[in-house]
């Protein structure tokens, strides 16, 4: 997922604002106690999400894929007064951990946490979002994008994680492509060809696609 040489990655992180202590704690806790800790946004990407939120000062943020709550806490850092992060996940086993860290980070009142299938929950949300972060199952990226686009204000942003898929987007393996990689390829092409948005794909960590609704 990290494409920079280790020395450059360390230099980048050294010249990025420090990871807040509560997020350091959550980072360690996730790596020690939760399966697939690489799903965590982590220090560098987390500071990027926080800075994007701080630049936009959003009223409403939607996150698809809470995991252990790290990125939701980052996104909450830049909320406008009275703003809210709506975050959705299907893993009920992580609920206690997620809610505990929201409380410890002092953002429990700024985050509304939904448990259940995002494809069912998103249509019920009566909000216009300034910022959306898609970081869930890759097979449904296109479905999530289509569901949220009408709920994003003109000029609002949709961020999608893991769009380089550990470099597999350019590794054809003699023409054999697994279904997750194909889904990522199809999604990236879909956004590139969608006249409703402007987009840029950043080679940050595992790839972050930023789309601005026109």
Q: Which tens digit of pLDDT belongs to each residue from 36-90?
A: 998 999 999 999 999 999 999 999 999 999 999 999 999 999 999 999 999 999 9
The number of distinct structural domains making up the chain is 1
pTM above 0.75, yes or no: yes
Q: Which of 7-11, 15-19, 98-102, 186-190 has the lowest mean pLDDT?
A: 7-11
Specify the pLDDT at position 15.
Answer: 97
Query: Is residue 1, in this structure, part of any structural domain at all?
Result: no
Residue 172 has pLDDT above 80, yes or no: no
Query: Is residue 30, in this structure, part of any structural domain at all?
Result: yes
Query: Is residue 67, in this structure, part of any structural domain at all?
Result: yes
Query: Is residue 144, in this structure, part of any structural domain at all?
Result: yes
Residue 2 has pLDDT above 80, yes or no: no
Query: Is residue 51, in this structure, part of any structural domain at all?
Result: yes
Mean pLDDT of 128-139: 97
In our burial notation (b when 16+ CB lie closer than 10 A, e otherwise), range 7-21 reads eeeeeeeeeeeebbe
Query: Is residue 194, in this structure, part of any structural domain at all?
Result: yes
Query: Is residue 161, in this structure, part of any structural domain at all?
Result: yes
CATH number at residue 45: 3.40.50.150
Contacts 24+ apart (CB under 8 A), 99-108: 101/22, 101/26, 101/29, 101/68, 101/69, 101/73, 102/69, 102/72, 102/73, 104/22, 104/25, 105/20, 105/22, 105/23, 105/73, 105/76, 107/72, 107/73, 107/76
Q: Which tens digit of pLDDT belongs to each residue from 96-117?
A: 999 999 999 999 999 999 999 9
DSSP state for residue 15 in the 8-state scheme:
T
Complete DSSP assignment for 121-143: HGGG----EEEEEE-S-GGGHHH
Q: Which domain holds residue 137?
A: 6-213
Query: Is residue 176, in this structure, part of any structural domain at all?
Result: yes
């Amino acid at each position: 997922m990290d494409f920079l040489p280790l020395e450059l990655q360390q230099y980048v992180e050294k010249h990025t604002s420090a990871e807040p202590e509560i997020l350091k704690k959550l980072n360690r806790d996730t790596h020690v106690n939760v399966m697939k800790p690489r799903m965590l946004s982590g220090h560098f990407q987390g500071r990027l999400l926080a800075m994007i939120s701080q630049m936009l000062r959003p009223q409403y943020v939607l996150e698809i894929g809470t995991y252990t709550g790290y990125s939701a806490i980052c996104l909450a850092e830049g909320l406008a007064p009275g703003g809210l992060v709506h975050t959705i996940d299907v893993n009920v086993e992580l609920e206690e951990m997620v809610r505990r860290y929201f409380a410890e980070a002092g953002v429990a009142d700024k985050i509304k946490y939904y448990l259940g299938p995002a494809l069912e929950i998103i249509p019920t949300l009566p909000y216009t979002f300034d910022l959306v972060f898609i970081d869930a199952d890759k097979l449904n990226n296109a479905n999530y994008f289509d569901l949220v686009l009408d709920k994003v204000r003109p000029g609002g942003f949709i961020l999608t994680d893991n769009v380089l898929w550990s470099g597999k987007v350019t590794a054809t393996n003699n023409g054999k492509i697994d279904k997750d990689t194909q889904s990522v390829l199809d999604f990236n092409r879909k956004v590139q060809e969608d006249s409703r948005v402007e987009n840029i794909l950043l080679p940050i960590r595992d790839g972050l696609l930023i789309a601005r609704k026109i």
